């Protein structure tokens, strides 16, 4: 139907007849001539109809934004003074000879010819219009190119693309499962995979040696911030490689993606232990573009007459930290109040601060509501420890370690953003030496990664002191975002049983849920490990999109619904009957 894409045209086509197909981006009637900006995937071309072409002119008068048209015309240079250098095709225009309306369009709910703000609900409901916007289309095409590079790299390195089932049994990655009722097995349910974890391990038991898959994963989480119930992972597993070897190949993969598509050299990735990341940055995914660090000051605060500090300073499970922010003394009381509200989200009960107005003036040069509680000597040592300088503000966190880490870790980022203290560029790293387990709110132990992650110690040490055990897991972090996480896995059934035991999964439950894995580990399963990268997040970072939804063609809303198709929807009584399901009169409130 078409001879060229609109966006392809330039001066070299002058005097050529072309056929263009696309959407009317904008129509302007300049009394006597009609201008149509015609848009397709590759760009926009200006087409002019004058009244000499009577029939086409009449049609051009009738077209409206987003009509789909076919244009036949001759390319010519734009008249002097009308060249538009902001437009790829701005040197030329097409003198329209024929015009065919391929389809009409109602007035679009999203205007594409100007930058009006449209609510997300509308954007998602009319996604086909939203995706016509060049920045949206460009992101999807960028994504396609990146996955292509990923596939080529992995293919070249001997990885085999294997699809794993979507209708399966639960794989615990720490979220709720999406369940699918079985018609053929009444009262039984499939779970959609939270990840292909167990299948990829079983492929290693099967001798596949190197596997990958660009895999859909499903997690029914409360959609905090920027998560999607269904998302895509670059999922990888290998046999007979240790963690250093796996990290090296995966670093090469991500470096190649950045080099090919952004012309960015990520350099070599430093490694940092989980303990160090938590201590210095309050986060297991530190943004190394920010220099601010948390400094432990519990030693100094044990004796002070200020319970807010001395209490946590004398408690093993708590931390007292200071966050020194250069040039922060100019932060207003109002903004400090905002920061206090901000840290409260993470459970902090307040936000103590000291402004350093003049470091040479001793205590007189400091301004703070809390200094009166502290001996002058402690304050002086504190300033020395922090290497405080005139113009700084120092924030404090004193509470259970978890609260301090989360609150001050988040504040570190927020303040740096507000003060323009985030460096440009890319700061990748590996976080390693994670603990195997953490304590849940009910006191039970849960896996920090997943229960198939190998410990760095032997089974006896694990059983004796599970909370002290480190795992053989590694996370790749970029600019404060976890790009991917993986580990060496347990490949012996005894060790797997031991981990289940620590997690409170008894033998019977282990058999029932993971018997197939335990069997696979018992029939010659090689040492193996792998990783999974969040593809959506990777693309979001690379394109600079602010939401993960902007790099997914058909994302769900914050409440896990699809406004386009109106899913999830009701089903007929007949369908429910076939599934042996009866609905409650009134749906219970979501927990």
455-482 as b/e, with b when 16 or more CB fall inside 10 Å?
Answer: bbbebeebeeebeebbbbbbbbbbbbeb
Per the DSSP assignment, residues forming a β-bridge with 534 are: 233
Comparing CA positions, the residue from 351, 371, 350, 373 lying closest to residue 362 is 371
In the complex, the smallest distance separating the C-beta of residue 195 from ligand ASP, rounded to whole angstroms, is: 3
Instruction: Catalog residues that contact ligand ASP under the rule CB under 6 A.
Output: 173, 195, 197, 485-487, 530-532
Comparing CA positions, the residue from 427, 172, 424 lying closest to residue 277 is 427
Local structure of 267: helix, strand or coil: coil
Q: What are phi and psi of 113, to 5 degrees?
A: -95, 0
In the complex, the smallest distance separating the C-beta of residue 530 from ligand ASP, rounded to whole angstroms, is: 5
Beta strands 160-161; 210-218: pairing state = parallel
Nearer Cβ to ligand ASP, position 6 or 488? 488
**Which contacts qualify for 566-575: CB closer than 8 Å, 24 or more apart?**
none
Nearer Cβ to ligand ASP, position 211 or 396? 211
In the complex, the smallest distance separating the C-beta of residue 556 from ligand ASP, rounded to whole angstroms, is: 19
Distances (CA, A) of 205 to 209, 210, 450, 452, 489: 9, 11, 19, 14, 12
In the complex, the smallest distance separating the C-beta of residue 17 from ligand ASP, rounded to whole angstroms, is: 54
Nearer Cβ to ligand ASP, position 235 or 498? 235
In the complex, the smallest distance separating the C-beta of residue 444 from ligand ASP, rounded to whole angstroms, is: 21
Nearer Cβ to ligand ASP, position 89 or 201? 201
What token pair was written down for 89? 């095709």
Nearer Cβ to ligand ASP, position 413 or 531? 531
Check if the beta carbon of residue 354 is closer than 8 Å to that of residue 367: yes
User: How many angstroms separate the CA atoms of 436 and 489, rounded?
Assistant: 12
Nearer Cβ to ligand ASP, position 320 or 454? 454
What token pair was written down for 253? 């993969």
Comparing CA positions, the residue from 582, 588, 586, 585 lying closest to residue 186 is 582
Position closest to ligand ASP via CB: 195
Nearer Cβ to ligand ASP, position 37 or 235? 235
User: How many angstroms separate the CA atoms of 281 and 390, rounded?
Assistant: 23
Local structure of 419: helix, strand or coil: coil
In the complex, the smallest distance separating the C-beta of residue 196 from ligand ASP, rounded to whole angstroms, is: 7
Nearer Cβ to ligand ASP, position 40 or 475? 475
Angle between helix axes 401-418 and 333-344 (nearest 10 degrees) is: 140
Nearer Cβ to ligand ASP, position 43 or 229? 229
Nearer Cβ to ligand ASP, position 127 or 200? 200
In the complex, the smallest distance separating the C-beta of residue 235 from ligand ASP, rounded to whole angstroms, is: 7
User: How many angstroms separate the CA atoms of 355 and 328, rounded?
Assistant: 8
Comparing CA positions, the residue from 123, 121, 143, 132 lying closest to residue 536 is 143
Query: Alpha-carbon Rg of the chain, whole angstroms?
Result: 30
Asked, as a colleague might, if the bond just before 140 is cis with ω within 30 of 0, I would say: no
User: How many angstroms separate the CA atoms of 374 and 197, rounded?
Assistant: 53
For tokens 């499939």, name the residue.
190
In the complex, the smallest distance separating the C-beta of residue 558 from ligand ASP, rounded to whole angstroms, is: 22
Distances (CA, A) of 238 to 202, 207, 473, 530: 11, 10, 14, 6
Nearer Cβ to ligand ASP, position 304 or 448? 448
In the complex, the smallest distance separating the C-beta of residue 535 from ligand ASP, rounded to whole angstroms, is: 12
In the complex, the smallest distance separating the C-beta of residue 418 from ligand ASP, rounded to whole angstroms, is: 32
In the complex, the smallest distance separating the C-beta of residue 236 from ligand ASP, rounded to whole angstroms, is: 7
Nearer Cβ to ligand ASP, position 192 or 304? 192
In the complex, the smallest distance separating the C-beta of residue 531 from ligand ASP, rounded to whole angstroms, is: 5
């Amino acid at each position: 139907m078409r001879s060229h894409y609109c966006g392809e045209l330039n001066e070299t086509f002058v005097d050529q007849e072309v056929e263009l197909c696309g959407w009317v981006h904008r129509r302007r009637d300049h009394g006597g001539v009609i201008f149509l900006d015609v848009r397709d995937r590759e760009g926009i071309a200006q087409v002019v109809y004058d009244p000499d072409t009577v029939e086409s002119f009449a049609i051009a008068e009738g077209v409206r934004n987003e009509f789909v048209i076919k244009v036949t015309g001759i390319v010519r240079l734009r008249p002097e003074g009308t060249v538009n250098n902001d437009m790829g095709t701005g040197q030329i225009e097409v003198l329209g000879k024929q015009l065919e309306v391929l389809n009409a369009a109602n007035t679009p709910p999203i205007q594409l010819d100007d930058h009006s703000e449209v609510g997300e609900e509308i954007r998602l409901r009319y996604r086909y219009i939203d995706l016509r916007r060049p920045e949206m289309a460009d992101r999807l095409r960028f994504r396609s190119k990146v996955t292509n590079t990923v596939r080529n790299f992995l293919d070249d390195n001997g990885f085999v693309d294997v699809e794993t089932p979507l209708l399966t049994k639960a794989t615990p990655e720490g979220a709720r499962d999406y369940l699918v009722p079985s018609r053929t097995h009444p009262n039984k349910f499939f779970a959609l995979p939270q990840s292909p974890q167990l299948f990829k391990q079983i492929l290693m038991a099967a001798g596949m040696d190197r596997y990958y898959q660009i895999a859909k994963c499903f997690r029914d989480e409360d959609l905090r911030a920027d998560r999607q119930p269904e998302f895509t992972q670059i999922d990888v597993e290998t046999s007979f490689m240790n963690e250093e070897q796996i990290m090296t190949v995966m670093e090469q993969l991500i470096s190649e993606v950045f080099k090919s598509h952004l012309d960015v050299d990520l350099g070599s990735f430093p490694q940092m232990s989980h303990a160090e990341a938590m201590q210095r940055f309050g986060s297991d995914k530190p943004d190394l573009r920010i220099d601010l660090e948390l400094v432990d000051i519990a030693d100094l605060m044990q004796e002070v007459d200020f319970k807010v500090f001395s209490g946590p300073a004398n408690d093993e499970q708590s931390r007292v930290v200071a966050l020194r922010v250069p040039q922060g003394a100019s932060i207003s009381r109002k903004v400090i109040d905002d920061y206090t509200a901000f840290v409260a989200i993470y459970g902090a009960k307040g936000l103590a601060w000291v402004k350093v107005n003049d470091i040479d003036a001793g205590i007189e040069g400091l301004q703070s509501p809390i200094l009166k509680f502290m001996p002058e000597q402690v304050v002086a040592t504190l300033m020395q420890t922090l290497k405080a300088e005139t113009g700084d503000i120092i924030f404090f966190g004193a509470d259970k370690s978890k609260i301090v880490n989360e609150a001050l870790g988040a504040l570190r980022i927020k303040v740096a953003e507000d003060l323009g203290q985030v460096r440009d560029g890319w700061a990748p790293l590996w976080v390693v030496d994670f603990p195997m387990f953490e304590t849940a709110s009910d006191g039970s132990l849960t896996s920090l990664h997943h229960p198939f992650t190998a410990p760095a110690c032997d089974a006896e040490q694990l059983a004796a002191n599970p909370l002290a055990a480190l795992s053989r897991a590694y996370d790749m972090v970029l600019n404060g975002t976890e790009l991917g996480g993986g580990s060496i896995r347990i490949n012996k059934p005894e060790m797997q049983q031991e981990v289940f035991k620590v997690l409170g999964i008894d033998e019977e439950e282990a058999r029932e849920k993971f018997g197939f894995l335990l069997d696979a580990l018992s029939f010659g399963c090689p040492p193996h490990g792998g990783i999974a990268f969040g593809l959506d997040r990777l693309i979001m970072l690379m394109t600079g999109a602010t939401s993960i939804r902007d790099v997914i063609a058909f994302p769900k809303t914050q409440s896990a619904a699809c406004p386009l198709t109106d899913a999830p929807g009701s089903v007929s009584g007949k369908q429910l009957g076939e599934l042996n399901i009866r609905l409650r009169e009134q749906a219970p409130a979501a927990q």
